[in-house]
Amino acid sequence: MLDRELLLTERFRRTMAVGLSSGVASIVVALISLLTVPMALSHLGAELYGIWLTVTAVFTAISLAEFGVSSSLVNAIASANLTSRTVRDRVCLTISTAFFWLMSVVFVLLALSALIAPIVDWNIVFNVGEHAAAAHIDLVVSIVIVCFLLALPFGVAEQINVGLQEGYYNAFWKIVGSVVGFAGLAIAVWMEAAMPWLVLSIAGGALLGRVGNFASLFFRRRTWMRPALSDIDSSALRTVLRVGGLFFGLKVADLISHQADAIIVAHIVGPTGVSQYAITLKLFMFLTSFLILFLKPLWPAYSEAIARGDIDWVRRTVQQVLTVSVAYIAPAALLLGLSAPTIATYWLGDELVLPPLLIAWAAAFVVVSVLESNLTKFYYAVDGIGFHFGWVAFMTVVNLPLSIYLTYQIGVAGPLAGSVIARSTFVVLPLILWLPRTWRRVATSRREK
C-alpha cells in the first residue's frame, strides 16, 4: 500500500485528481461512442459505416506528423520554476517555437493534400464500389484530413496542461468535444443528412474540443504563455525537435509492433486468428486502461519534484507505485486468464474460441506493459527517453523475426509470446538494471546545482 505521508502530499493529490478526471472522461467518451455506433450504423448501413471507419483509421497516422513536438513540452513545463521571470521567458520561447513549427507543418501538409487529393481516385483506394454516390468519398477524405491536421497545433495545450499537472482541463474539453460531436451527429441523422455531415460532426467536435482547450489555456488561464511569432527561437527549435524526435521514434516503433502482429497472424494463421488475437488483447488491455490513466500524470510530477530537489519523494513514489501496480495487475491478469474462456462464451457465443495459450501470453503481456509504463514515467522525467528509445528500437528489430518464428511454432499466440520475451528482455530488464546508476546521476546533478 502507499504510505499515508505520500498520499497527503499536494503533488500526489494533483496526480490522483488528474487520473480520476481522465477516468471520468474516458467513461463518458466510451458511453457516447456506444450511443454513436448504432445511430450511425442504422442511418448509413454497414457498408457506408465501414467506409467511414476505414477512412478514419487510415488517416489516424496523420498524428505522427507532429513529430513528437507536443510531447517534448511536458518536461520543459513540469521542471520549470514558473515564478522566475527568466524561466517564464524561456518557456514562452519553447511554447511559441513548438506551436508555430506545428502550424508550418500543417500548412505544408494541407498544401500537399490540395495538390494530391484531386488526382487520387479514393473510390478505388477504399474500395467504395457501388456506394460511390452515397459515400461522397472525396469530401469525406477532405474533412478527415483537414480536421486531423488542424488538431495538431492546438494539441500543444493538452501537453502543457500535462506539464502543469492540470490534466483535468484536458478531460473536461475531451468530454465537451465528444458531446458536441454526438449532438452534431444526432442532428445530422435527424435531418437525414449525407455521410459527410456525420463525419464532420464527429471529427469537427473533437477539433472544437481541442480549440476550446487551447483558448481556455492561452486566453484565460495562462495568457502569458500565449504563442507569439516574436518568441520563435532557433535554439528552442533544435531542442523540441531533438526530444520530439525520440517520442516520434517511440510512436513509430509502437505502430510497427502492433500492425506487424496483425499482419503476421493474418498471413500465417488466417483471418480467424486475427479476430482471436485482437479480441483477446482488447479484453486484457481493459485491465490496464484505468491504471495507465493514473500513471501518466506521474511523469510531470516526477519532473517537478526533481527540479525542486525532492528526490526522496520521487524515490518513494517510484518504488511504492511500482509495487502497488504489480500487486494489482498480476492477480487481476491471473483471474481474468482463468475466467476468460467463460467470458468469451457469454460475450461471443460459439462463433469464436480463445485459445488457452493465447490467453496465457496475453496475461503476461499486460504485466510486462504495466512494468514498462511505470519505469518510463520516471525515465522521461530525468531525460532518459533516449535510453528508453534505444532499447525499444533494438527490441522492435528482435521482436519481428521472433514473433514470426513463434507464430509458426505455436500459432496465434506467437506475436504476443514474442512481444513478452523481447520487451521484458530488451526493454524492462535494462530499465530496471539502469535504475541505480540513474538515481546516482540525478542525485549528483542536484548536488551540483
Residue 4's pLDDT is 47
350 is a domain residue: yes
- Check whether residue 305 and residue 370 sit in a common domain: yes
pLDDT per residue over 144-197, tens digit each? 888 888 988 998 998 898 888 888 888 889 999 989 988 998 898 888 888 888
Nearest to 280 by CA among 349, 350, 337: 337
- Check whether residue 18 and residue 54 sit in a common domain: yes
At which residue does the C-alpha cell 487551447 appear?
Answer: 214
- Confirm if 404 and 268 have CB atoms less than 8 A apart: yes
Listed residues 202, 232, 262: the one ending a domain: 232
Amino acid present at 127:
N
282 is a domain residue: yes
- Check whether residue 258 and residue 224 sit in a common domain: no
Count of C-beta atoms within a 10 Å radius of residue 299: 23
- Check whether residue 194 and residue 313 sit in a common domain: no
239 is a domain residue: no
What is the pTM (predicted TM-score) of this model? Answer: 0.78
The C-alpha cell at 437 is 546508476
- Confirm if 363 and 334 have CB atoms less than 8 A apart: yes
The C-alpha cell at 32 is 457516447
Q: How many CA atoms lie within 13 A of 88 on its CB side?
A: 9
125 is a domain residue: yes
123 is a domain residue: yes
**Residue 247, CA distances (Å) to 34, 60, 63, 102, 171 in order:** 31, 17, 12, 15, 22
Amino acid present at 345:
T
Listed residues 232, 264, 298: the one ending a domain: 232
- Check whether residue 172 and residue 53 sit in a common domain: yes
Residue 433's pLDDT is 92
Q: How many CA atoms lie within 13 A of 35 on its CB side?
A: 15
List alpha helices for 60-121, DSSP H.
73-78, 85-116
Q: How far apart are CA 131 and CA 140, in angstroms?
A: 13
Domain carrying residue 372:
244-449
237 is a domain residue: no
Nearest to 304 by CA among 10, 5, 8, 3: 10
Count of C-beta atoms within a 10 Å radius of residue 182: 20
- Check whether residue 44 and residue 151 sit in a common domain: yes
How many structural domains are present in the chain? 2
Which residues of the chain fall short of a pLDDT of 70? 1-9, 34, 46-47, 50, 53-54, 57-60, 125-135, 259, 271, 347-352, 445-449
Q: How far apart are CA 377 and CA 341, in angstroms?
A: 34
> Hey, what's the torsion of the CAs at 427, 433, 436, 438, to 10 degrees?
-30
- Check whether residue 221 and residue 316 sit in a common domain: no
Q: How many CA atoms lie within 13 A of 386 on its CB side?
A: 6
- Check whether residue 218 and residue 296 sit in a common domain: no
Q: Which residues of 46-78 are buried (b: 16+ CB within 10 A; e: fewer)?
A: eebbebbeebeeebeebeebbbbbbbbbbbbbb
Burial bucket for residue 338 (CB in 10 Å: 0-12, 13-18, 19+): exposed
Listed residues 232, 266, 287: the one ending a domain: 232
Residue 446's pLDDT is 60
> Hey, what's the torsion of the CAs at 284, 278, 29, 39, to 10 degrees?
-140
Q: How far apart are CA 139 and CA 122, in angstroms?
A: 10
Q: How far apart are CA 333 and CA 371, in angstroms?
A: 13
- Check whether residue 108 and residue 207 sit in a common domain: yes
Q: How far apart are CA 36 and CA 49, in angstroms?
A: 11
Burial bucket for residue 85 (CB in 10 Å: 0-12, 13-18, 19+): exposed
- Check whether residue 227 and residue 271 sit in a common domain: no
179 is a domain residue: yes
- Check whether residue 215 and residue 285 sit in a common domain: no
List alpha helices for 191-270, DSSP H.
195-216, 234-268
Q: How many CA atoms lie within 13 A of 105 on its CB side?
A: 23
pLDDT per residue over 72-102, tens digit each? 888 788 777 777 788 788 888 889 998 999 9
Nearest to 5 by CA among 252, 215, 320: 320
- Check whether residue 197 and residue 275 sit in a common domain: no
DSSP codes, 133-182: HHHTHHHHHHHHHHHHHHHHHHTHHHHHHHHTT-THHHHHHHHHHHHHHH
238 is a domain residue: no
Nearest to 60 by CA among 259, 240, 196, 232: 259
Burial bucket for residue 106 (CB in 10 Å: 0-12, 13-18, 19+): buried
